Each structure stands twice: as C-alpha cells, then as structure tokens.
C-alpha cells in the first residue's frame, strides 16, 4: 500500500508506505514456496488491475538477496518486499483488494479510511 499523496508531497516513500495496516501479509508465510513462473494478479473490487508472472520480475531473487545482504544482515523471519506489476491505481475506502499467486494462495483486504 502507498499513500500516493504523501509520496508526492514528501518526495520519497518512507512515510507513504509505513502506516499501520499498509503491509498486509498472510494468512501464512510459506517457506517452501519456489517462485518460478507462477501467475500473480491483483484485483480491486473484483476487477483485475495487475497480471504478470513471477519470472517477469526486473531482478531475480538471488540478485535481490545478494544486493540486500551487501548492505545489511538478513535474519530468519525477515521478509523482502519488492514492487508489483504496473496498473493497480487508486483504491477507495470500502473497496477491496485481492492479491493472488498461483500455487500459494490469495489475500483479500478491505480498504479503510486513512486516519
């Protein structure tokens, strides 16, 4: 989740991505999942807004891990978050967003009012 208005105002991403509830994960973390060419989709209010496959990532996972560990230590339980395919667009309070990865599952959340 990103508060685009704050991202534009601040000129960077930290506050715009750091509100409580802005990092939905779960309902479980599968440590055995092998990302390859699985489909990933994001739907807003039932309309598919993003659709790609994991093999279309700009950087592969070993490259991402190599870069991150060149500047910080990763520990068991750490989560690496990357960008998403283009297209999600704005979400409105009361709406819903569902993200699905083939072979892994889906996560749905309601969009609330920002405090």
Query: Rounded to the nearest 10 degrees, how much is the dihedral formed by the CA atoms of 27, 29, 32, 36?
Result: 90
Give a yes or no: residue 103 inside a domain: yes
Q: Residue 9 has what DSSP assignment? A: H
CATH number of residue 79's parent domain: 3.90.850.10
Give a yes or no: residue 81 inside a domain: yes
pLDDT at position 64 is 96
pTM of the model: 0.82
CA distance 20 to 18: 7
User: Comparing C-alpha atoms, which of 26, 35, 32 is closest to residue 54?
Assistant: 35
pLDDT at position 114 is 67
Give a yes or no: residue 21 inside a domain: no
pLDDT at position 115 is 64
pLDDT at position 13 is 84
Q: In what order do the strands lie in the sheet with 47-53?
A: 47-53, 39-44, 96-101, 105-110
Instruction: Return per-residue pLDDT of the chain as tens, 115 residues.
Output: 888 889 899 988 889 988 888 888 887 888 888 889 999 999 999 999 999 999 999 999 999 999 999 999 999 989 998 888 888 888 889 999 999 999 999 999 998 886 6
CA distance 4 to 26: 24
Give a yes or no: residue 101 inside a domain: yes
Give a yes or no: residue 76 inside a domain: yes
Give a yes or no: residue 78 inside a domain: yes
Question: What is the number of structural domains in the chain?
Answer: 1
CA distance 110 to 91: 10
Give a yes or no: residue 77 inside a domain: yes
Q: Which domain holds residue 89?
A: 36-110
Give a yes or no: residue 97 inside a domain: yes
CA distance 68 to 70: 5
């Amino acid at each position: 989740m990103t508060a685009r208005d704050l991202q534009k105002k601040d000129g960077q991403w930290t506050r715009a991505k750091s509100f409580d509830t802005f990092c939905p994960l779960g309902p479980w973390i599968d440590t055995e999942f092998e990302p390859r060419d699985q489909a990933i989709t994001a739907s807003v209010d039932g309309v598919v807004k993003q659709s790609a496959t994991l093999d279309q990532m700009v950087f592969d996972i070993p490259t991402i891990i190599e870069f991150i560990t060149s500047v910080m230590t990763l520990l068991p339980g750490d989560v690496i978050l990357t960008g998403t395919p283009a297209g999600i667009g704005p979400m409105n309070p009361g709406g819903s967003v569902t993200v699905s990865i083939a072979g892994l599952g889906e996560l749905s959340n309601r969009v609330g009012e920002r405090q």
